[in-house]
A and B are shown apart, each in its own frame.
Chain A
Amino acid sequence: MNVNENKISVSEIDASCRVPLLALFGGAALWLVIGLALSIVASLTFHKPDMFANCAWLTYGRVQPAANDLILYGFCIPAALGVMLWIFARLSQIPIVLPLLPIVAANIWHLGVVVGTLVILSGNSTGFLWLEYGRGAFVLLLCAFFLFAISAFATFGARHHRELHVSHWFLIAALLWFPWIYAAANFFLVICPVRGVAQAVIDWWFANNLIFVWLALVGIGAAFYFLPKFAGRPLHNHYLALFAFWTLIIFGTWCGIPQGAPVPAWLPAASTVASALLIIPLIAIAKISVKTVYGANTQCKGGPFCYIKFGTAAFILSSLMLIAQACPHFSRVVGFTWFGPAQTQFQLLGFFAIVILGGFYELMLRVMGCELPYPKFVRVQHWLFIAGLVLLVGSLAVAGIVQGMKLENPKIAFDDVSSATLIAFRFSTTGQLLLLLGSFLFAANIFVMTARWKFGLLKSGWKALNAPLQASEVKS
């Protein structure tokens, strides 16, 4: 694109994102609701074990991974792609290049999620953690990602200012990294499986790189775009942000192999060292965020600014939990306990979902060119999510530590260890209910918005059809 061309108006750029973003976010909202509902179904098993004794599709071992994957693949990734696309268009100051591709990609992606979920629930999952979807869904998701990436890279390449924004670094790394890890993990585990525990090593590598590194790249990349915007001043320190980026990808990618795993000792040792060094990018990210936000003259009032601030803080906390899990002594206690799921849920819902929802509420007003149908829901959802997360993550983390300490004492019977954690499920299920309520509010906003927009289109189309013909068009 010619740099000397007339500057395109911001509203035109935003409008170009409308259909792709509605396609990405609409499906994401649906999957978030279904995913949280399924995770409640899964947790019911702990309240009443024989609830689904006769129903293979609803047994815990199938519903739990299906729910987790719906939250990750159904909600987190498409929502991330939506926010990413909008940030690229805004930073490049041009409308999306090849706008049809992300629309097609969004539909293929959502189809892949449907296929994958049915695969798990019908008992055909691959059996690998976070990679349960199998071949069919793998091909669909990867194709969708490639289509999306073509449009995103084209938009990036046609940017007006050649100078790179900090968010560019994070988001481009994410665009490169997902197809690599997803294709590699599927190739070596599903298509052409390797032998023995090498499978487990590859699965841990993939899970850590998707859930920790990839989500961190997109979430922090988006936060570094939105925080200065809300605070009304530039990002605290450009070079420190780049330092955080490099240390995050260099150390973060090596985490994830648990201690005590039946693999050669250098693998968990490398992960432990990398996890300890992860404190460096964490300090940098915390410092940048605090210095950018602190003292800014902006009230957040439960709006998008609050979301992004809370999400960034949650990232620091959940990463600290990740580091704690790799500490030699602490890992012995919390390994194989509910502490691990607590950390993962915090990373997915506390950090990532909140940052992306904050971005969504900010950009959707501009993209649709109208107010949200229920603006009050934004604030209510914020509080529901925070309360839900405190209950869910707090209770599971405490249960994990208690469970770990009891497991370390062989004199305590295993039944007593399990029953000690049962009380935590009352709190965690309540937390999940609050999260589900919150996600309903998000879904209500986006679906009513989409419906109104489509209705508007229909109305204007109808009007155009019924408009009296102009005299010049009438045959004499």
Chain B
Amino acid sequence: MVGWAFMAPFALLFLLVFIVPILASVKESFFRQVAAIDEECANPLYGCTTGSADEVVTSSFVGWDNFLYVLTSEMFWSGVGRVMLFGAVQVPVMIIASLFLAILIDSTIIKRVTVFRLGYFLPFAIPGVIAALVWTYLYTPELSPISDVLGWFGLEVDFFSTNLMLWSMANITTWTFTGYNMLIFLAALQAIPGELYEAARIDGANAWQVATRIKVPMVRGAAMLAVLLSIIGTVQLFNEPTVLAVRNGWMGPGYTPMMMAYNTAIGGQISPSGVGPASAISLVMAVLAGLLALVYMLVQRRLAK
């Protein structure tokens, strides 16, 4: 009983913030919001005392319509395609780069590594929106020293073009999270018992063999977790495309599925709108994220054998 008392505050808030919303959105996903004419307001004699938008929106039960809409929406699937392509390239690049940097820093080839460890991790302190804002300016040719440098080599790169946009975003995400993942790998590397290295040295292993035969396998658990969290993060990609879309109208309101869900909930740009269809998008995305995570874990397990 005492145990429950200590558990209760968290459990109650968890219920309010996670469980109830999930149930509510499952229910809402079977309803669609229509801006209906308020009977009383149709007659000017009665007058309208309140003007809140919620009061003229009515919800009606539509069965599986919202899900059918999402599953047949071209905007939804092109968004899904974009985040999948993004994830298929960005996640491996980031994880391999983090692991490589962690192994270099852990290798004791150089003694003073604090400045590197801290410097790599620092971007994680920059909120995603602000990182996207700074990089947006760094991608703008008139403002950016990067364009100046590229210009010395006669290169002219349009970071905002339809072909490059996804990779410009991938760079922002990589910049933000590589150091974070590196620290996770570094912690896992430092937990490897010294006797393993000792044994490898006696067997005459060189540094490369130590790295590939001991270090990489020993951080497998940490790597798996990092990849899983990155996949889940990619599915929900929102901040970077939202900021970039401010100056790149062509990206539209549904460049990623999470953007589409937000703009559907808020209304104005996508039809049908409202929390009903938006809930359906969120639920379909959650199922897709779960499937992706499951596939990844199964592939991992098969590879491990």
Task: Decide if A and B are genuine partners.
Answer: no
* Chain A residues engaging chain B, CB cutoff 8 angstroms: none
